[in-house]
Structure 1
């Protein structure tokens, strides 16, 4: 059944519509990077939230791409971060650039005094970068939201109300992802000419295996790692028992941390039916959250909590995490909801980096 509290949760998460002339003006959004994530995820999400947001500026190092994307939404375009940050119409900046630029750009947005910054995951690639970002955010008062969209999905938020003491009793947590290649969705959504298939990686090279596993953690698993960490708050004893690449692309991780077993699996295969699930299993209860595939905007995750032989189902709701993160930003800017705790963001990243480091050590040990 769909619980009444879950229905109330979705209503509470939905910003009011039909803004009147007396209401505050729309929140101006600027994008650093105009690639597939901006085009196929964020612009469609904002198109459903025009009562609260207005895309004001699009920056990309490719002037033609910036201009083309900006023209779709009537925004200004540029190839300069400084020009975007200097645009007074930009209240919130969304960072959709390659990972290596995230930390410096987040800090620059904070220094520019914007109202908030949404950074695609990961928001940093080292614990030192994350700590520096947290310090600048505290100094400037600019809130940081990391685009791990599942944390904002109303299906996941409903699960938090269902699970009772499961976070303290769960012994096994599983994240399982089966997806077609991103390009299938990106090419349709962005009208980009289909890209030729790249060369197959040489998985006989340990360095390639380690790099592939790192990319899997920081590019895909990281969506669910903040959720996994709700069940594993202490992970300094993390052990990587298994870390393998799945062909043609994917991973299998078997971890132990905080007395719990963690299984992370992913397979990107064009012929398999998409599936994305998170499970937490305890001695007398289980939770299963089924998320929509990447790039799918219709509908939320569905949470199923089972205990004493009875299953309670929450969802699907009318929106998922892509839209949910923008709804949360609107609430943060309006002052009706607090910003995420920077310390929690640092711990989420530290968890991901610990898995990366453990996987690299595991691969080298297997070779030796």
Structure 2
């Protein structure tokens, strides 16, 4: 019988606790949690005890652990590039890095260079990319990337804690300070964080619908308290709208749509942290509709199963250059939206 792949987690926060550990518990034939690493020794130990794994506060200790075949990077995103490079240098069998896998094009390029040099495959944990309902629609959408003219991403969510607490008994979660909305740099930072932390789920899907993005132009950007954004932009000759609002009172909704003159794609994703099967995609053409999903497996399971297949040599790893392009596009949107907010503030001040 084939042995399971040993997984080591860098970061023991909500994503590890409420997303990946419950997912791997359902995939016990493929994976075993072997090591949990966190700067908080108490959280690392308590979570490792739950999983029957080793624990540490040192990156080097986890990378030196021979039981760890796959490194799952779930730390704050500022550390992703450094840790992904270190995991590749440690000659692990694969790396799963939470999105975004870098914070700049230069960081992404450095990761790509090391991944190519070492041959270690990198999977970015963008669960919507792997979602079976989405992938089925992609396989049937025909000329939609060329013919679509309008793309919309609409996200309405309660605070993460609502879903985290349903998924698991949380050991700890970070405190989020109340932002000073009067400070333009705070607002610019919030819209940047919104793109890098929330829109990043959908931007790789949106990029797959673009023939180009080097002509990206952000028309407007607005911060929506307590946390959210509305961004209007043009790229590849298409009009793109990104909107997200976190609210404790609205019903959750996560929808991505693409419109052409004779075709519409409407995909409804389950919210983050929710283990409830795949998305449902409806592809409407000339009055007829094809519906894909829901399937029992969600995007989280699909990304881990694909990683296992990559390690076994059954499927090719993701194109690292395509992952870099996804990151470049995401950073360009985040940077441009933040700059638009700063520019609007200067214009208001000069009026």
Equivalent-residue separation in structure 2 for 1:161 and 1:187 (angstroms): 35
Deviation string, structure 1 residues 136-195 (Cα, Å, up to 9, x no partner)? 000000001111110010001101112110110000011110000012222444434787
Equivalent-residue separation in structure 2 for 1:87 and 1:198 (angstroms): 33
**What is the aligned residue count?**
346
The partner residue of 1:302 within 280, 294, 308 is: 280
In the other structure, the counterpart of 2:349 is none
Q: How does 1:153-164 map to 2 (within 5 A)?
A: 153-164=131-142
The partner residue of 1:253 within 231, 247, 252 is: 231
Equivalent-residue separation in structure 1 for 2:38 and 2:176 (angstroms): 24
Equivalent-residue separation in structure 2 for 1:198 and 1:187 (angstroms): 17
Larger displacement relative to structure 2 (61-70 or 105-114): 61-70
Question: What displacement does 1:57 show?
Answer: 0.7
In the other structure, the counterpart of 2:265 is 287
Question: What displacement does 1:196 show?
Answer: 10
Relative to the length of structure 1, the TM-score reads 0.91
In the other structure, the counterpart of 1:119 is 97
Equivalent-residue separation in structure 2 for 1:42 and 1:88 (angstroms): 21
Matched, 1:184 2:162: yes
Relative to the length of structure 2, the TM-score reads 0.96
Matched, 1:101 2:79: yes
Task: Give SS of 1:298's match.
Answer: coil
Structure 1 residues 138 and 261 mapped into 2: Cα distance closer, same or farther (>3 Å)? same
CA root-mean-square deviation? 1.4
In the other structure, the counterpart of 1:208 is 186
Structure 1 residues 346 and 233 mapped into 2: Cα distance closer, same or farther (>3 Å)? farther
Larger displacement relative to structure 2 (28-37 or 190-199): 190-199
The partner residue of 2:107 within 129, 143, 161 is: 129
The partner residue of 1:165 within 113, 129, 143 is: 143
Deviation string, structure 1 residues 31-66 (Cα, Å, up to 9, x no partner)? 011111101000011011101111111111111111
In the other structure, the counterpart of 2:61 is 83
Matched, 1:66 2:7: no
Matched, 1:41 2:19: yes
**Structure 2 gap ranges (5+):** 347-351
Task: Give SS of 1:353's match.
Answer: helix
Equivalent-residue separation in structure 2 for 1:196 and 1:124 (angstroms): 21
Matched, 1:138 2:142: no
Task: Give SS of 1:364's match.
Answer: helix
**Structure 1 gap ranges (5+):** 1-20
Question: What displacement does 1:205 show?
Answer: 1.5
